[in-house]
A and B are shown apart, each in its own frame.
Chain A
Amino acid sequence: MRNTFKLIPFLLLFTGCQKFLDVQPELQVDESQAITNASTAEAAVNGLYNRLGSDGYYGSNYPSLSYLSGGDIQWTGSQSAPQEITSRKLTADNGYVGSAWQAIYRTILQANYLLETVPALTDPQLTADRKAQIQGEAYALRALSYFDLVRGWGGVQLILKPTYTPSDNTGITRSSVDDTYAQVLKDLTAAEPLLGTTTNRNKVTRKTVWALRSRYHLYRQEWEQAETYASKLIDDATNYKLAKPYNAFFANNAAATSESIFEIAYTNSFKNGHYNWWLPPALSGRREWAPNANLVTLLNNPNVGGNRKELIAQTAPPGNLWYGKLYYRTPLGTDPAYVIRIAELYLIRAEARAQLGKTTTALADLNAVRDRAGVPLAQASTKDALLLAIEAERQVEFPFETDRWFNLVRTGRVAAVLGITDANKYVLPIPNSEILADKALTQNKGY
Chain B
Amino acid sequence: MQKLLFAGVIWLLSYGGLLAQSTASHVSGTIRTNTGEPLPGANVVLKNQTKGATTDAEGHFTLEARAGDEVVISAIGYQTTPVKIGSTSTLTVTLQESASQLSEVVVVGYGTQDRKNLVGSVSQVNAEEIKNRPVASFDQQLQGRAAGVQVAANTGVPGDGIFFRIRGTTSINASNDPLYVVDGVFVNNLSLQKITTQGQSNNPLADINPADIESISILKDAEATAIYGARAANGVVLITTKRGSYNSKTKVTLNASVGQAWAPKLWDLVTGPEHATIINEAWVNDGKPAATRPFRPVSEGGRGLPEEQPTYDRLSDIFRTGALQNYDVAVSGGTKQTRFYLGGGYTSQQATLRTNDFSRASFKLNLDQDITDKIRIGTSNIFSQSNRTNARVGDGPQGGILQAALHTPTYLPKFNTDGTYAKWAGFDNLDVLINNTDMHSTSTRYIGNIYGEYDILSNLKFRSSWSIDYNDYNEYEYWNTLTNRGSASKGLATSSVSKNTIWINEQTLSYRQTFGSLHTVGVLAGNTFQGNVSTQTLAQGTNFPSDAFKQIASASVTTSSSNRNQYNLASFFGRIDYNFARKYFFEASLRADASSKFAQGHRWGYFPSAGVAWQLKQENFLRDATFLSDLKIRASVGWTGNQNGIDNYASRGLWGGGNNYQDNPGTVPVQLANPELKWETTRQTNVGLNVGLFNNRIGLEINAYSKYTYDLLLQVPLAQSSGFASIYRNDGEISNRGLEFAINSLNFNKSGFQWNTSFNIASNVNRIERLSIPVDASYATERMAEGQPFHAFFVYKQLYVDPKTGDAVYEDVNKDGQITVADKQFYGSALPKLFGGLNNTFSYKGFDLSVFFNFSSGNKVFNNNRFFHESGGTRDDRRAINKNQLNRWQKEGDITDVPRVMTIGNNYNLSPTSRFVEDGSFIRLNSVVFGYTIPKAILSKVGISSARVYYNGSNLWLVSKYQGPDPEVNVTGNPTTQGYDLGTPPQPRTAQFGLNLTL
Contacts and interface: CB of A to CB of B under 8 A. Distances in A.
Contacts of A447: 820-821
A282 B416 CA distance: 11
A437 B397 CA distance: 32
Interface string A211-251: 00000000000000000000000000000000000000000
Contacts, number: 293
A272 interface: no
A312 interface: no
A13 to B, nearest CB: 8
Given A109-B723, A110-B723, A21 B595 contact: yes
B289 interface: no
Interface in B68-121: none
Contacts of B600: 18, 21-22
A431 B725 CA distance: 13
Given A30-B653, A269-B559, A53 B721 contact: no
Interface in A12-58: 13, 17-18, 20-23, 25-34, 40, 42-51, 53
B571 to A, nearest CB: 10
Contacts of A285: 426, 488
Contacts of A31: 652-655, 669, 673
Contacts of A13: 527, 570, 572
Given A21-B595, A30-B652, A77-B426, A316 B720 contact: no
Nearest to B663: A267
Contacts of A26: 563-565
Contacts of A93: 780, 821
A437 B654 contact: no
A5 B874 contact: no
Contacts of B423: 280-282
Contacts of A48: 666
Interface in A424-447: 431-434, 436-438, 441, 447
Interface in A400-446: 431-434, 436-438, 441
B668 A51 contact: yes
Contact of B557 (A42, A102, A331, A436): A331
Contact of B878 (A77, A95, A432): A77
Interface stretch (B239-247, B496-504, B601-609): B601-609
Given A27-B564, A46-B665, A317-B416, A83 B874 contact: yes
A20 B820 contact: no
Contacts of A34: 655, 667, 669
B398 interface: yes
The interface residues of chain B, by DSSP majority, are classed as: loop
A366 to B, nearest CB: 34
B654 A25 contact: yes
A354 interface: no
Most chain A Cβ neighbours within 10 Å, of B564, B590, B649, B671: B649
A10 to B, nearest CB: 7
Contact of A170 (B529, B664, B719): B719
A437 B773 CA distance: 7
Nearest to B656: A28
A166 interface: yes
Given A29-B654, A317-B417, A47 B667 contact: yes
B196 interface: no
A284 B909 contact: no
A319 B416 contact: yes
Interface stretch (A65-73, A84-92, A177-185, A371-379): A84-92
Interface string B392-413: 0000011000000001000001
A28 B657 contact: yes
Contact of B570 (A20, A44, A95, A170): A20
B277 interface: no
A9 interface: yes
Contact of A269 (B489, B596, B660): B660
Contacts of A267: 660, 662-663
How many interface residues does chain A have, given as a range?
35 or more
A265 B568 contact: no
Contacts of A284: 398, 484-489
Nearest to A265: B662
A80 B868 CA distance: 10
Contacts of A83: 874, 909
Given A28-B655, A169-B722, A78 B426 contact: yes
B648 interface: yes
A240 B501 CA distance: 58
A281 B421 CA distance: 11
Contacts of B718: 166, 437
A270 B773 CA distance: 34
A202 interface: yes
A438 B594 CA distance: 34
B526 interface: no
A307 interface: no
B418 interface: yes
A165 B673 contact: yes
A42 B568 CA distance: 35
A101 interface: yes
Contacts of B903: 87
B297 interface: no
A28 B669 CA distance: 9
Nearest to A29: B655
Contacts of A132: none
Contacts of A338: none
Contact of B666 (A47, A279, A432): A47
A101 B661 CA distance: 21
Contacts of B568: 20-21, 23
B966 interface: no
A159 B608 contact: no
A126 interface: no
B181 interface: no
A139 interface: no
B566 interface: yes
Given A31-B673, A50-B666, A110-B723, A319 B424 contact: yes
B490 to A, nearest CB: 7
Nearest to B598: A21
Nearest to B483: A284
A423 B243 CA distance: 77
Contacts of B606: 2, 5-6, 8
Nearest to A98: B720
A334 to B, nearest CB: 10
A105 B720 contact: yes
A316 B421 CA distance: 10
Contacts of A130: none
A318 interface: yes
Contact of B668 (A18, A47, A80): A47
Interface of B: 397-398, 407, 413, 416-418, 420, 422-428, 484-490, 527, 529, 542-543, 557, 559, 563-568, 570, 572, 590, 592, 594-596, 600, 603-604, 606, 608, 639, 648-649, 652-674, 717-725, 727, 729, 773-774, 776, 780, 820-821, 868, 874-875, 878-879, 903-904, 906, 909-911
**4 nearest CB pairs, A to B:** A109-B723, A46-B666, A286-B426, A438-B719
Interface of A: 2, 5-6, 8-10, 13, 17-18, 20-23, 25-34, 40, 42-51, 53, 76-78, 80, 83-84, 87, 89, 91-93, 95, 101-102, 105-106, 108-110, 112-113, 156-157, 159, 162-166, 168-170, 172, 202, 265, 267-270, 279-288, 316-319, 330-332, 431-434, 436-438, 441, 447
29 contacts: A8-B572, A17-B594, A22-B596, A25-B565, A27-B563, A27-B565, A31-B652, A34-B655, A40-B667, A43-B667, A46-B660, A46-B664, A46-B667, A49-B661, A50-B661, A77-B878, A78-B868, A78-B875, A163-B723, A166-B727, A265-B662, A281-B398, A281-B425, A284-B487, A287-B425, A316-B417, A330-B489, A432-B821, A434-B719
Given A51-B668, A166-B674, 10 more contacts: A2-B639, A23-B648, A34-B667, A159-B721, A164-B672, A269-B660, A270-B666, A282-B484, A330-B488, A332-B488
